[in-house]
A = this chain, B = another copy of it.
Amino acid sequence: MIDKLEYLMALARERHFGRAAEACGVTQPTLSAGIKQLEAQLGVLLVQRGSRFIGFTPEGERTLDWARRILADSRTLQEEMRALKSGLAGQLRIAAIPTALAMVAELTTPYRLRHPEVRFTIFSMTSIQILTALENLEIDAGITYLDNEPLGRVNMVPLYRERYCLLTSAEAALGNRDSVTWAEVSRVPLCLLTPDMQNRRIIESLLRAAGGEPRPMLESNSMIVLFAHVRTGQWASVMPEKLAETLGLTETIRAIPITEPEAVHTIGLVVPPREPMTPLAAALVAEARRIGSDLNIEARKQTESGV
């Protein structure tokens, strides 16, 4: 029965019998028959049949909810047993929003020191994709904004606060400044993430609040692309401080803090709200708490010294 629920989940993900079958490592007739069996066992139609995949019936949607739960539990069971036998080992799938990609290393590196047998897969996703992927058990944890747009039901661990910089050549218009305002930035032609990214939406709203109208000269869903363009000295972009540092500043490229207002958003780890967590996920949360509390202490120190 558990296999059949896997089929159903795959079908929900792929919305296509053939691809779902491939994802499950079986042929299309096998998956087709599996779904049929599930329908027979439950005595209800789960999939709306037509010449092609249309969607699920209400019963099918409800069954999917249960499948998520049951599969999550059965995977946790399996992983827990493996952890008991041979220590923490296995695969940890983490998705992060592009602006947080560089900081994933701060999480994975100490994790790996504690648990050398764990392998990682890191995905770059939009914050919305992260939430659905968490739901569908495609990833174990996500790194995304905690405080901007509504999250689903997840457990959160704050990691750090994102402050924004103008990344530009020292020879460019604002290149010699020590700080700039959002109003000034709004007049610079920028390279920005695509609008499906939350970071883009945040920056747009900040620019608009400062009275400007965002008109990016170049869009990409990859921070690498943006940085590569800035690096030529001919383009400018807005990036989180942390990311700019990681990507490395040269003599000619400067990261200039943007003030007025100093916009801050919290980035953190999100995991499914299931109790108990898989051992791998639990260890990741522990790691995140360490980093998070470090940064909180840091932030507090800064605040105190600032006063």
Contact = CB atoms under 8 A, between A and B. Distances in A.
Total copies of the chain:
2
B63 A81 contact: yes
Interface string A58-78: 110011001001100110111
B82 A73 contact: no
B85 A44 contact: yes
**Secondary structure of the A side of the interface?**
helix
Give the size category of A's interface with B.
20 to 34
Nearest to A58: B84
A42 interface: yes
Given A66-B73, A70-B73, A74-B70, A43 B85 contact: yes
A44 B84 contact: yes
Nearest to A81: B42
A97 B165 CA distance: 69
A162 interface: no
A227 to B, nearest CB: 44
Contacts of A82: 42-43
Contact of A73 (B41, B62, B73): B73
Interface of A: 1-3, 41-44, 58-59, 62-63, 66, 69-70, 73-74, 76-78, 80-82, 84-86
